[in-house]
């Protein structure tokens, strides 16, 4: 495993990390989550991603139980969570980044995770109704209280990230250190174009999500929807529809010979491609079973084989953002 700095911060994250969206609670209970986390840890993963909203809090409970059971030293791993959607319906309990919600949400997450601090806390989406200044102060105070080490954003626009950073700079507050955007062969615009200036100007780090586009880039949907896949879960009809998109399926099928030439799986090719981008601090992988974790971690060996010729062939298949 290689470890990359989270942007300009001094924190080092494993370049492949492991997250719990969809899987924890819906597909994995304590025991199977423990097997997956242990497999990731064995491969050198030191960053485990979570969010308050995943399985309505259950994902944090499972991860907390697993961390307790595995007994790793707290200093040796990095845990994240994210706030925005909330778990209740009140006007100050959902779709907000106001001070009241954030201040209470962190305490509830700490309790579910059975931890006394969380390393990375993300504002899961922008909140157009709360002044960014109020959110920046709340995140700063969370850090000052010792409940979080670093804060960042997820799926914020470049302008929103810049505004938060400048407020923090002006008032000498803790700055947003990282952003968590979607990044995969189908979804490149934000990371490659929109944020281009933020890496150098702000030292922004990235922990990127859905590197396999919810499994689609593994090629598992090329012949229909497998029974044990995410696309069959209740509430994932949107995914079942999108995995059958003929344009994307054609692109995935066209990538298969490249993977075969490199002697790797499609999933490993897609993950290695994300790792080629030096602005990515950590690619957050997802898996519903340990065998997937083990396969995915071997993507590290594929990275050196992605020369300019292979990268150009990939661009020709999936297209480059304008």
Catalytic machinery residues? 54
DSSP secondary structure letters along 198-218: HHHHH--EEEEB-TTTTTGGG
Contacts with ligand NDP in 165-194 (CB under 6 A)?
A: 180
Which residues on adjacent β-strands are paired with residue 151? 121, 176
For residue 138, give Cα distances in angstroms to 93, 99, 146, 220, 295: 15, 5, 13, 43, 40
Cα(51)–Cα(176) distance, integer angstroms = 17
Helices (H), the chain: 23-26, 30-42, 58-70, 99-113, 132-144, 158-171, 189, 196-202, 237-242, 246-262, 266-275, 290-297, 308-318
Cα(213)–Cα(210) distance, integer angstroms = 5
Written as six digits, the tokens of 152 are: 């960042």
Name which of 73, 139, 156 is nearest 102 in CA terms.
139
User: What would the x/- binding string for ligand NDP be over residues 217 to 246, using CB under 6 A?
Assistant: -x-x--------xx----------------
Contacts with ligand NDP in 281-320 (CB under 6 A)?
A: 284-288, 292, 295-296
**What DSSP element (H or E) covers 124?**
none
One of 13, 178, 213, 310 touching ligand NDP (CB under 6 A) = 213
Q: Does 20 bind ligand NDP (CB under 6 A)?
A: yes
Written as six digits, the tokens of 105 are: 């949400």
Q: Nearest distance from residue 179's CB to ligand NDP, in Å?
A: 9
Contact (Cβ atoms closer than 8 angstroms) between residue 80 and residue 120: yes
49 or 168: CB nearest ligand NDP: 49
Q: Does 49 bind ligand NDP (CB under 6 A)?
A: yes
Cα(217)–Cα(23) distance, integer angstroms = 17
Q: Does 21 bind ligand NDP (CB under 6 A)?
A: yes
251 or 285: CB nearest ligand NDP: 285
Considering only 17-25, 33-41, 89-97, 164-172, which stretch makes contact with ligand NDP by CB under 6 A? 17-25
96 or 288: CB nearest ligand NDP: 288
One of 6, 13, 16, 23 touching ligand NDP (CB under 6 A) = 23
Q: Nearest distance from residue 20's CB to ligand NDP, in Å?
A: 5
170 or 238: CB nearest ligand NDP: 238
9 or 229: CB nearest ligand NDP: 229
Q: Nearest distance from residue 271's CB to ligand NDP, in Å?
A: 8
What does the binding site for ligand NDP look like in residue numbers (CB under 6 A)? 19-23, 27, 49, 154-155, 180, 209-215, 218, 220, 229-230, 267, 284-288, 292, 295-296
């Amino acid at each position: 495993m290689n470890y990359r700095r989270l942007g300009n911060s001094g924190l080092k994250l494993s370049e492949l990390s492991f997250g719990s969206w969809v899987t924890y609670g819906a597909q994995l209970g304590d025991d199977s989550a423990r097997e997956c986390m242990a497999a990731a840890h064995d491969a050198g993963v030191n960053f485990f991603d979570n969010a308050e909203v995943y399985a309505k809090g259950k994902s944090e409970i499972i991860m907390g139980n697993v961390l307790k059971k595995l007994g790793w030293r707290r200093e040796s791993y990095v845990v994240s969570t994210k706030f925005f959607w909330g778990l209740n319906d009140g006007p100050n309990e959902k779709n907000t980044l106001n001070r009241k919600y954030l201040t209470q949400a962190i305490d509830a997450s700490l309790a579910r995770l059975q931890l006394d601090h969380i390393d990375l806390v993300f504002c899961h989406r922008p909140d157009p109704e709360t002044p960014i200044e109020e959110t920046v102060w709340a995140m700063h105070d969370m850090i000052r209280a010792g409940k979080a080490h670093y804060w960042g954003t997820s799926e914020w626009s470049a302008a929103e990230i810049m505004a938060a950073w400048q407020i923090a700079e002006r008032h000498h507050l803790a700055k947003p250190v990282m952003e968590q955007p979607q990044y995969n062969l189908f979804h490149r615009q934000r990371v490659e174009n929109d944020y281009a200036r933020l890496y150098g100007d702000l030292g922004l780090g990235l922990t990127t999500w859905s590197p396999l586009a919810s499994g689609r880039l593994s090629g598992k949907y090329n012949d229909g929807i497998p029974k044990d896949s995410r696309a069959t879960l209740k509430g994932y009809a949107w995914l079942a529809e999108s995995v059958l998109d003929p344009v994307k399926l054609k692109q995935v099928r066209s990538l298969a010979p490249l993977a075969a030439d490199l002697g790797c799986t499609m999933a490993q090719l897609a993950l290695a491609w994300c790792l080629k981008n030096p602005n990515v601090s950590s690619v957050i992988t997802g898996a519903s079973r340990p065998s997937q974790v083990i396969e995915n971690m071997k993507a590290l060996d594929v990275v050196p084989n992605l020369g300019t010729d292979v990268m150009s062939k990939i661009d020709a298949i999936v297209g480059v953002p304008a």
